[in-house]
Amino acid sequence: MRIIKRKKDIEAFVERNKEMGLKIGFAPTMGALHAGHISLYAAARKENDLVISSIFVNPTQFNNPEDLEKYPRDVESDLQLLRESGFVDAVYLPEIADLYPEGLATKNYDFGGLENEMEGKFRPGHFNGVGTVVEELFRQVKPDNAYFGDKDYQQLAIVKKLAAQVNPQISIHGVGIHREENGLAMSSRNQRLTADQRAAAKLIFETLNKVNDWFRIITVPEINRRVKAIFDAEKDMQLEYFEIADEETLQQTDFFYKDRSYRAFLVVFVGDVRLIDNLHLD
Ligand code: PAF
């Protein structure tokens, strides 16, 4: 596996491989890799000749400086995991200057309103940061296919819009949520949970499954009330938001329309660790 550190080197590497007609699959990450990431690479491996990943903790998408500071970083063990997976041909480890040659500024995107829902409300500026870094990574890596986890479902929807706006040749693929045995969605942030918190956090997926049982049987306001009550009863967990939203527009709904599909979205603080999850309702 090749380790590439500078913009000029990734660009030269990509150009050489493009000249040979190789199809490139790309999965950008912020490191602290886990089995969820490996499933992105496995999907990329099946559909491409060359698989590239990047590891870069992107400062502009953190609206909370403490979250950025505490974000887990361990490049050596990430590289080890990448090698062991056998799915990845090259990993790009850029410096800030490779992605932000003019300093840490972000672009202002219009993603048709998707950016103002959920994470957009609670993490102002987050999607401008994601958009700016992903657009630049796409420019340098020039993938044919790019892979993102369904766990950050809103991010996936936004990246699809971004690619359509800036580089429609890139196909964006969502990869299903990878879960721990107890149902907790895999996340780099899980590393910051104590064993007790990790066990308790199974409540998140259990609650999403309850919501699925209630779907189209109980009214949305009543579901909202029940979810709030579940987390209000937990002293170490704090519900930041729960929403049932239209899967396409991501707008919160108060009513289940027959011909629309819906997904439940939830963000919970377990101690000071912010966990996000979602479930398609059927
Ligand atoms: O999902 C992530 O890890 C990040 O948001 C991404 C897409 C790598 C951009 O920094």
* Dihedral angle over CA of 39, 43, 49, 50, nearest 10: -30
pTM for the full model? 0.96
| pLDDT beneath 50: ranges in the chain | none
Predicted pLDDT at 6: 97
Binding site annotation covers 6? no
Judged on CB neighbours under 10 Å (0-12, 13-18, 19+), 265 is: buried
Q: Is 152 in the pocket of ligand 1 (CB under 6 A)?
A: yes
Decide: 93 in ligand 1 pocket, CB within 6 A: no
Does ligand 1 lie within 6 Å of residue 130's CB atom?
yes
Answer yes or no: do 19 and 111 share one domain: yes
Each residue of 160-178: pLDDT tens digit? 999 999 999 999 999 999 9
Residue 228 to residue 95: CA distance in whole angstroms:
42
Nearest CA to ligand 1 atom 9: 130
Ligand 1 centre to CA of 61 (Å) is 9
Statement to judge: residues 150 and 253 lie in one domain? no
Beta bridge pairs of residue 243: 265
Is 226 annotated among the ligand-binding residues? Answer: no
The string of pLDDT tens digits covering residues 138-150 is: 999 999 999 999 9
Alpha helices (H) in 142-219, listed in sequence order: 153-166, 195-200, 202-214
Number of structural domains, the chain? 2
Look up 37 and say whether it is catalytic.
Answer: yes
34 in a labelled binding site = yes
Q: Are residues 110 and 88 in the same domain?
A: yes
- Specify whether the backbone of 118 is left (phi greater than 0), alpha (psi in -120 to 50) or beta: left
Tell me if 127 is assigned to some domain.
Answer: yes
Which residue among 142, 175, 208 closes a domain? 175
Within this chain, do residues 136 and 247 fall inside the same structural domain, yes or no? no
Structural domain of 12: 2-175
Residue type, 78: D
**CB of 174 shorter than 6 A to ligand 1:** no
Q: How far apart, in Å, do the first and last CA atoms of the chain sit?
A: 41
pLDDT at 268: 98
Asked if residue 211 and residue 160 are part of one domain, the reply reads no
According to DSSP, the β-strands at 145-149 and 24-29 are parallel
